[in-house]
Each structure stands twice: as structure tokens, then as C-alpha cells.
């Protein structure tokens, strides 16, 4: 007998909500969830497998609850003078963000975000019983310091979400906006830097703002630049006190010993793991240039994907690409689609298909 959600004693505030829903389809060219489409190098894979194998031999024991080695590795990778006490990690940055909401949000509290932005920010906010409120962006999806201050003063949030570069638009986030947000709010400021490695090299990360700002939390992930989406490793840099707050809500032993071993091994090969980043940036710039030639309007992007407008019927283009074995993302932004930069061959397949579609072929 089919049971629907309506038959269950679900929390009232979850009724009518939709789950995270990026389609997972097996297609030859998957450019829909901003993964790194380059597989990890085989020698790195071998080292990871050996490390995991060693961990399996001790899997009868609970893992190091404080994932000491991993925090040390992440601190070394991030640099900026960060110490392991300033690092936290979980099963994807989504879990890190959930822990932040559990510790600093909850019923009676409010989080401010700036759509269009990463859908998980609002989903996690609501999932923790926190109220989600929305601020407006400026021209070109940007957020100026003045705008962020105005929206914070209007909504008086307990938590402010900033996403830089922003997903799904690729839009840069100025560090001045983070500084202004921090100064204007009494609450927590989360800067989601999932795409930090794809920014121009000379642009400062929000990590540079951490000293003296104990309510600023900067989240990162190994899912994108690091080609590690399947392993589920996200992390955070913040004041040690903020990390103590997360210890109050995390499940004990939340990071398995296999995950810890895999991540530490991957971080030993950070240079090799990141070797594809420049190539991906090149493919991204190629997508922007070619889509412009084809008469679409790609937005400036500092990430590994491109949001482009000028699509008369996004759903029809999405379906035509799918017929050709290519999946992109339709985010219900009118006239727009988003595509992740692939390998050179994948990117070519996408651009050739877009050219055919433009010509009505």
C-alpha cells in the first residue's frame, strides 16, 4: 500500500518542502553538479587504497574522534598560518554547515542567504528548524558591502551565509563584503568557499580575515578542485572556540577511519590532485568565449562552471543535450542553464551540441 508524506506525523515546518534534487543520471558527459570530471591519478589512487587497507585492519576500533592527523594535514594544505585547532572536518562541507546550524541556529533563530545561491544552505537551515530569510543581490548577482549591511540591518540574522565564488552564478565575492558583513552582524558569518581553488591566484580568500574574527567561519570542500566528491570530505577554518561549539552537536566518531585515511593520503598528493585545476579553468574560459560567440550570455565566473543566459527555452535545450548524452543543470533561473567545465573532450562535446542547437540542427 502506498503511503504518502501526508500520512506521516512529519514536522509541520517540513510539509511542502522539496529535497535536494540534482538528477543523478548515468550519461557519457555529466556536467551538472560541478564535480571535477578528471579522475584522480593512478599513483595517488594506489596510495589512498594502501592507506585505507591499513585502516581496515583496525576498523574494529572507533576512529580518532578528533581526526588529529587529518586536521594537521588540512591546516598544512590551507596555509595562512592556520593551526590544527582552527580546523574542523565532516562528511562533506554540507555536514559541516549542518553542524554550524545545529550549534548556532535552531528554532527561534534566523539565517540570511542571498539567492540565487547554493540550495543546500536553505535546505540545511530549514532542516534544523532555523528560519530562512533572503537578501537581494546587486546587478550581475554581486553583493556590495553596502548591500550586505543593508540586508543584515533589515533582517537581523543569527547566521549570514555568503558563498564565494557563488554557486550557481560563479560570481566573485569581494572580501570587503565579508568584512562589512562581519562588522554589521552580531551573528555568525559563514563563507562557503567550495570553489576557492578556481579563483584567480592573486585574490585573497576569506581565510585572510580570520584573525580577530571569532564569529567568522570559512568552509571548504575536497569535493570540487580536489576531485574527491565521492569520498565526502568537507572542512572548516575558524576560531578554536567556534570549533568547540561544533563538538557539542556532532555525532561521536562522525568521520570514519576509512574516510580519515583516504583524505590524509589524498592530501599528501595535493599538488597532483590539484594539477587539473588550471586545465579546468582553461575549459571554463573556453565555454564562456564560445557561448558568447554563439549569442548566449555567460556570466563572469571564478569557479569551475558557467551560468549562461539567453536560452529561450532552458528545458528544451536541457532535453536536447540529454539526447546527445550530455547533462547540464536547469536551476529554474528564467532563460538560464548552468554547465560545469569538463575535460577538453567533454567540453568540446557540450560546445558542439550547443552550436548545433543554436543552428536548429
Comparing CB distances to ligand PLP, the nearer of 135 and 353 is 135
Comparing CB distances to ligand PLP, the nearer of 229 and 294 is 229
> What span, in angstroms and rounded, lies between the C-alpha atoms of 29 and 147?
39
Is beta strand 159-163 parallel, antiparallel or unpaired with respect to 337-340?
Answer: unpaired
Comparing CB distances to ligand PLP, the nearer of 170 and 298 is 170
Comparing CB distances to ligand PLP, the nearer of 34 and 301 is 34
Biggest alpha carbon–alpha carbon distance for the chain: 61
By CB under 6 A, name the binding residues for ligand PLP.
Answer: 34, 92-94, 118, 163, 167, 192, 194, 221, 223-224, 229, 234
Cell 594544505, residue located: 77
Strands (E), 193-289: 216-221, 234-237
Shortest Å, Cβ 68 to ligand PLP? 21
Q: CA torsion angle for 114, 116, 120, 122 (degrees, to 10)?
A: 50
Comparing CB distances to ligand PLP, the nearer of 93 and 147 is 93
Shortest Å, Cβ 183 to ligand PLP? 24
Strands (E), the chain: 29-30, 87-90, 110-113, 131-134, 159-163, 188-192, 216-221, 234-237, 297-298, 305-309, 326-327, 337-340
Separation in Å, CA 182 to CA 171, 178, 214, 280, 329: 20, 6, 10, 32, 32
Shortest Å, Cβ 279 to ligand PLP? 19
Shortest Å, Cβ 233 to ligand PLP? 7
Shortest Å, Cβ 163 to ligand PLP? 5
Shortest Å, Cβ 223 to ligand PLP? 3
> What span, in angstroms and rounded, lies between the C-alpha atoms of 15 and 4?
11
Residue 335 DSSP SS3: coil
Comparing CB distances to ligand PLP, the nearer of 122 and 223 is 223
Residue at shortest CB range from ligand PLP: 92
Shortest Å, Cβ 3 to ligand PLP? 30
Comparing CB distances to ligand PLP, the nearer of 192 and 290 is 192
Q: 90: which 3 cell numbers? A: 565532516
Amino acid at each position: 500500500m502506498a503511503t504518502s508524506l501526508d500520512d506521516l506525523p512529519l514536522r509541520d515546518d517540513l510539509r511542502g518542502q522539496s529535497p535536494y534534487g540534482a538528477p543523478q543520471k548515468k550519461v557519457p558527459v555529466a556536467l551538472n553538479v560541478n564535480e571535477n570530471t578528471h579522475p584522480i591519478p593512478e599513483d595517488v589512487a594506489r596510495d589512498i587504497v594502501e592507506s585505507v587497507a591499513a585502516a581496515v585492519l583496525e576498523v574494529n576500533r572507533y576512529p580518532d574522534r578528533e581526526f588529529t592527523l587529518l586536521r594537521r594535514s588540512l591546516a598544512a594544505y590551507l596555509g595562512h598560518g592556520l593551526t590544527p585547532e582552527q580546523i574542523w572536518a565532516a562528511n562533506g562541507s554540507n555536514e559541516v554547515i549542518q553542524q554550524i546550524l545545529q550549534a548556532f541556529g535552531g528554532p527561534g533563530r534566523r539565517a540570511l542567504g542571498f539567492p540565487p545561491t547554493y540550495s543546500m544552505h536553505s535546505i540545511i537551515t530549514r532542516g534544523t528548524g532555523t528560519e530562512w530569510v533572503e537578501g537581494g543581490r546587486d546587478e550581475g548577482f554581486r553583493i556590495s558591502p553596502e548591500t550586505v549591511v543593508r540586508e543584515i540591518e533589515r533582517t537581523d540574522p543569527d547566521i549570514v551565509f555568503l558563498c564565494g565564488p557563488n554557486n550557481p552564478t560563479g560570481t566573485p565575492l569581494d572580501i570587503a563584503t565579508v568584512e562589512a558583513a562581519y562588522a554589521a552582524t552580531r551573528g555568525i558569518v559563514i563563507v562557503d568557499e567550495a570553489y576557492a581553488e578556481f579563483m584567480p591566484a592573486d585574490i585573497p580568500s576569506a581565510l585572510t580575515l580570520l584573525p580577530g574574527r571569532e564569529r567568522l567561519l570559512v568552509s571548504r570542500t575536497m569535493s570540487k578542485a580536489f576531485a574527491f566528491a565521492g569520498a565526502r570530505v568537507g572542512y572548516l577554518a575558524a576560531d578554536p572556540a567556534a570549533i568547540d561549539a561544533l563538538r557539542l552537536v556532532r555525532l561521536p566518531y562522525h568521520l570514519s577511519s576509512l574516510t580519515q585515511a583516504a583524505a590524509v593520503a589524498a592530501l599528501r598528493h595535493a599538488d597532483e590532485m590539484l594539477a587539473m585545476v588550471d586545465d579546468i579553468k582553461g575549459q571554463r574560459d573556453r565555454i564562456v568565449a564560445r557561448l558568447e560567440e554563439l549569442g548566449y550570455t555567460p556570466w563572469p565566473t571564478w569557479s569551475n562552471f558557467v551560468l549562461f543566459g539567453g536560452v529561450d527555452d532552458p528545458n528544451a535545450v536541457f532535453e536536447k543535450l540529454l539526447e546527445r548524452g550530455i547533462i547540464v543543470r536547469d536551476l529554474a533561473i528564467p532563460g538560464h542553464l548552468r554547465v560545469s567545465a569538463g575535460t577538453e573532450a567533454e567540453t568540446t562535446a557540450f560546445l558542439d551540441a550547443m552550436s548545433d542547437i543554436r543552428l536548429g540542427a
